[in-house]
Amino acid sequence: MKLEAYETEARLEETHWWFVVRRKLFSALIAKLKLDKKDTVLDVGTSTGTNLRMLQSLEFEAIRGLDYSEHAISFCRSKGLPEVEQGDICAMPFSDNSFQLILATDIIEHVDDDKLALTEIVRVLKPGGYALVTVPMFMSLWGPQDDVSLHKRRYRRGGIQSLIKNFDIKVVDAFYFNSLLFIPIWFTRLLLKKAKPDLKSENDVNSPFINKILTKVFELDTVLARFHLFPFGVSYLMLLQKAEDK
């Protein structure tokens, strides 16, 4: 991402509706896995530490982070979050079968070769281990946030499902989320493209009142999403499990 996007995220991620409720969603899914607190956990593409904050709150003891950006690593360090190494998701500096849980949330859209990125995730995941992957959906939703985040693409469900079929992994769960806000976000991005305001990040389009309302809407959305009620959404989530050794 661009430095200004990191700066905005670092300032807002602890309280902003998107990050707060997304952490709740991830926490609920991870809790159902009943992992041991001593299991090795990796957050790939830590950015400024929103997932690391969540993993700490879940009391995992062996948390690692990986990010390509020195800026991201510096922000995580300033918050006292778990160790983050500098590295590339397409060539991760970890041994095969290293982690019981890997989070790769909104990261593979940043790289040219998303298949290679997923190959690396599967490589360092332990047999029987889980990967929680999220991606942004629909090129029609492309907006200023995609630009400042240096995204390469947004996905369609068929495309991401075809990509996953290349690997010996099982889809435990998969669903769209952030669906209730799909139309408002599409319309807002359309306006932003036309108005071209001087914003470091879309996350700055907020206020305490808006944040409170959107938190409630997004909380409802993530509850409904787990029942697979939505045929579309701003984001798509997959909980994957690596095949056991034969």
CB-based contacts of 41: which residues, under 8 Å, 6+ apart? 35, 55, 60, 62, 63, 64, 99, 100, 101, 102, 103
- DSSP H helices in the chain: 3-12, 17-31, 50-57, 70-78, 114-124, 144-148, 157-164, 182-195, 208-225
Q: Tokens in use for 126?
A: 């332990």
Position 190 scores a pLDDT of 87
pLDDT of residue 133: 98
Low-confidence ranges of the chain (pLDDT < 70): 197-200, 246
Q: What is the pLDDT of residues 151-177, one digit of tens each?
A: 999 999 999 999 999 999 999 999 999
The reported pLDDT for the residue numbered 3 is 86
pLDDT in tens, 92-128: 999 999 999 999 999 999 999 999 999 999 999 999 9
Provide the pLDDT for residue 4.
83
Inter-CA distances, 221 with 79, 147, 182, 241, 244, Å: 29, 26, 11, 25, 33
Is 102 in contact with 125 (CB distance < 8 Å)? yes
CA separation, residue 33 to residues 39, 80, 125 (Å): 12, 27, 15
Give 205's contacts (C-beta < 8 A, 6+ positions apart): 188, 192, 199
Residue 168, pLDDT score: 92
Tokens representing 83 are: 């160790």
In one-letter notation, the amino acid at residue 42 is: L
Tell which residue, 180, 179, 160, has the closest CA to residue 171.
160
Query: Which pLDDT belongs to residue 198?
Result: 66
Q: Write down the pLDDT at residue 152.
A: 97
pLDDT of residue 195: 77
Q: For residue 200, what pLDDT is reported?
A: 63
